[in-house]
């Protein structure tokens, strides 16, 4: 979503100040009455705000950084060496499998190895015989073809063993073992671990999901008014991280369950400052200029009525309610857009009394 231009922002602010959004009612109140009612005002110039918006986020692993590790053959899970959420290194053992078909793989490899050795000996013998003129060219060609087929079969059996996580007989194992080790193919974190010791698994049964640790995504939930101030490319800072992330997506639609918009940021080099599944507080520096008509006001200055958020502006003879657009809201303060001069004074305390008077509920005068 591209940044809002100053022209569009001006239109928004004009709409907020129009009669559709702003009440024309003047709440008559003398300074003495306001003081007795506990109404305190503050200059708007002291509330000037930049474009930073604070929002919570969850750290997730991008789908392109996730790989599924499955069982190569039907087997029993003999042992599990890694659990959900753990960080693992490339080559680290995740689980160990045991089964009869694993024995068959080693046996087939041993047979292919023996056949390849025999075919190589036959080729050397026939090459010598052909050089002495004892055999014909056709026999030598047939021997060469047999040797190539035996070598290809051996390469296939060797690759099958490697995919199954098994050692070749004679390399690390004296005899056939029937055990396979499932190892991590890269440095990462265990996102899901479904393997359980003693369980039986079929071929291609998922055992683990591993995710790489860089880059990582920040999934941010924003209210529509907050999302309106965010665009692709905006900087996202996270406490404890030296490098800032960047907004890569502002979802064009609302999420059904939360009724919020998804903001996605990418942190290319986390360097261990955040971890997958972690919840963090982010600060998004909006690319658009907000300082002109944007203010960070105390939460005590806001009231809600008829689906809108209002502030009470000090005017001659009392106070006047004005609707504002909330861009960000925290427990103690809110970032709002309002077309007001810097010398304007807002009521920051006693606003409940002003609201009651405004709605004709008594008090205030």
Nearest to 246 by CA among 269, 213, 227, 229: 269
Last residue within a domain, chosen from 177, 195, 221: 177
CATH number at residue 112: 1.10.287.470
Point out the least confidently predicted range of 1-10, 156-165, 207-216. Answer: 1-10
Per the model's pLDDT, the better-predicted residue between 135 and 165 turns out to be 135
Is 11 a residue whose pLDDT tops 50?
no
Is 17 a residue whose pLDDT tops 50?
no
Inter-CA distances, 81 with 25, 102, 161, 255, 264, Å: 71, 20, 21, 38, 33
Which residue do the tokens 């991008």 mark? 62
Q: Per-residue pLDDT averaged across 250-277, rounded? A: 90
8 Å CB contact between 337 and 9: yes
Last residue within a domain, chosen from 264, 285, 306: 285
Looking at the fold, whether 38 and 132 belong to one and the same domain comes out as no
Question: What is the torsional sign of CA 328, 329, 330, 336?
Answer: positive
Looking at the fold, whether 137 and 166 belong to one and the same domain comes out as yes
Q: Is residue 82 part of a domain?
A: yes
Is 271 a residue whose pLDDT tops 80?
yes
Looking at the fold, whether 207 and 73 belong to one and the same domain comes out as yes
Whether this prediction's pTM lies above 0.85 is answered by no
Q: Is residue 348 part of a domain?
A: yes
Per the model's pLDDT, the better-predicted residue between 131 and 3 turns out to be 131
CA atoms within 13 A on the CB side of 230: 32
Looking at the fold, whether 157 and 201 belong to one and the same domain comes out as no
Taking all residues of the chain, what is their mean pLDDT, rounded to a whole number? 84
Which residue do the tokens 């008014």 mark? 225
Cα–Cα distance, 173 to 96 (Å, whole number): 15
User: pLDDT band at 24, cuts 50/70/90?
Assistant: low
Nearest to 40 by CA among 365, 313, 347: 347
Q: Is residue 191 part of a domain?
A: yes
Per the model's pLDDT, the better-predicted residue between 2 and 51 turns out to be 51
Point out the least confidently predicted range of 1-15, 138-152, 226-240, 269-283. Answer: 1-15
Inter-CA distances, 184 with 61, 138, 269, 271, Å: 17, 49, 21, 20
CATH number at residue 256: 2.40.30.170
Last residue within a domain, chosen from 177, 199, 225: 177
Q: Per-residue pLDDT averaged across 283-299, rounded? A: 73
Residue range 125-150, pLDDT digits in tens: 999 999 988 999 999 999 999 999 99
Q: What are the structure tokens assigned to 22, written together?
A: 């702003």
Looking at the fold, whether 91 and 147 belong to one and the same domain comes out as no
Looking at the fold, whether 134 and 173 belong to one and the same domain comes out as yes
CATH number at residue 80: 2.40.50.100
CATH number at residue 22: 2.40.420.20
Q: Per-residue pLDDT averaged across 120-129, rounded? A: 94
8 Å CB contact between 284 and 234: yes
Number of domains present in the structure of the chain: 4
Cα–Cα distance, 287 to 274 (Å, whole number): 24
User: pLDDT band at 48, cuts 50/70/90?
Assistant: low
Looking at the fold, whether 192 and 94 belong to one and the same domain comes out as yes
CA atoms within 13 A on the CB side of 236: 28
Q: Which of 46-55, 101-110, 114-123 has the highest mean pLDDT?
A: 114-123
Is 318 a residue whose pLDDT tops 80?
yes
Specify the DSSP element, H or E, that contains 352. Answer: helix 351-358
Looking at the fold, whether 77 and 201 belong to one and the same domain comes out as yes
Give the residue numbers spanning the domain of 300: 6-50+290-358
Predicted local confidence at residue 107, as pLDDT: 85
Residue range 351-365, pLDDT digits in tens: 999 999 898 865 444
Q: Is residue 365 part of a domain?
A: no
Looking at the fold, whether 200 and 256 belong to one and the same domain comes out as no
Looking at the fold, whether 164 and 203 belong to one and the same domain comes out as no
Predicted local confidence at residue 365, as pLDDT: 40
Residues 6+ away with beta carbon under 8 Å from 296: 47, 48, 49, 333, 334, 335, 336
Residue range 177-215, pLDDT digits in tens: 778 889 999 999 999 999 999 999 999 999 999 999 899
User: pLDDT band at 16, cuts 50/70/90?
Assistant: very low
DSSP class of residue 169 equals B
Looking at the fold, whether 300 and 352 belong to one and the same domain comes out as yes
Q: Is residue 364 part of a domain?
A: no
Looking at the fold, whether 274 and 296 belong to one and the same domain comes out as no
8 Å CB contact between 322 and 266: no
Q: Is residue 1 part of a domain?
A: no
Q: Is residue 128 part of a domain?
A: yes
Q: Is residue 263 part of a domain?
A: yes
């Amino acid at each position: 979503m591209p940044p809002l231009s100053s022209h569009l922002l001006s239109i928004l602010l004009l709409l907020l100040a129009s009669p559709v959004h702003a009440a024309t009612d003047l709440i008559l109140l003398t300074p003495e009455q306001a003081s007795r009612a506990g109404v305190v005002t503050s200059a708007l110039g002291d509330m000037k705000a930049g474009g930073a918006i604070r929002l919570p986020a969850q750290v997730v692993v991008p789908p392109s950084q996730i790989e599924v590790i499955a069982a190569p053959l039907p087997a029993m899970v003999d042992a599990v060496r890694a659990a959900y959420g753990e960080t693992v290194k490339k080559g680290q053992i995740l689980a160990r499998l045991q089964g009869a078909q694993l024995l068959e793989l080693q046996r087939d490899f041993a047979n292919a190895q023996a056949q390849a050795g025999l075919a190589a000996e036959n080729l050397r013998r026939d090459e010598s015989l052909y050089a002495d003129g004892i055999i014909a060219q056709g026999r030598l060609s047939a021997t060469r073809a047999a040797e190539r087929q035996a070598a290809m079969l051996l390469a296939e059996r060797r690759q099958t063993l490697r995919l199954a996580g098994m050692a070749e007989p004679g390399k690390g194992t004296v005899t056939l073992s029937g055990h396979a080790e499932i190892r991590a193919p890269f440095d990462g974190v265990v996102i899901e671990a479904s393997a359980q010791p003693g369980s039986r698994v079929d071929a291609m049964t998922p055992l683990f999901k591993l995710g790489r640790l860089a880059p990582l995504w920040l999934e941010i939930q924003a209210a529509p008014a907050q999302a309106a101030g965010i665009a692709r490319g905006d900087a996202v800072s996270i406490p404890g991280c030296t490098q800032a992330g960047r907004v890569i997506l502002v979802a064009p639609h609302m999420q059904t369950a939360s009724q919020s918009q998804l903001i996605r940021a990418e942190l290319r080099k986390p360097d261990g400052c955040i971890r997958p599944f972690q919840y963090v507080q982010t600060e998004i520096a909006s690319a658009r200029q907000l300082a002109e008509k944007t203010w960070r006001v105390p939460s005590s200055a806001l009231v809600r009525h008829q689906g809108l958020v209002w502030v009470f502006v000090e005017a001659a003879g009392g106070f006047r309610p004005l609707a504002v657009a909330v861009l960000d809201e925290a427990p103690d303060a809110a970032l709002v857009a309002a077309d007001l001069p810097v010398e304007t004074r807002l009521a920051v305390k006693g606003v409940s009394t002003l609201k009651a008077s405004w709605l004709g509920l008594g008090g205030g005068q």
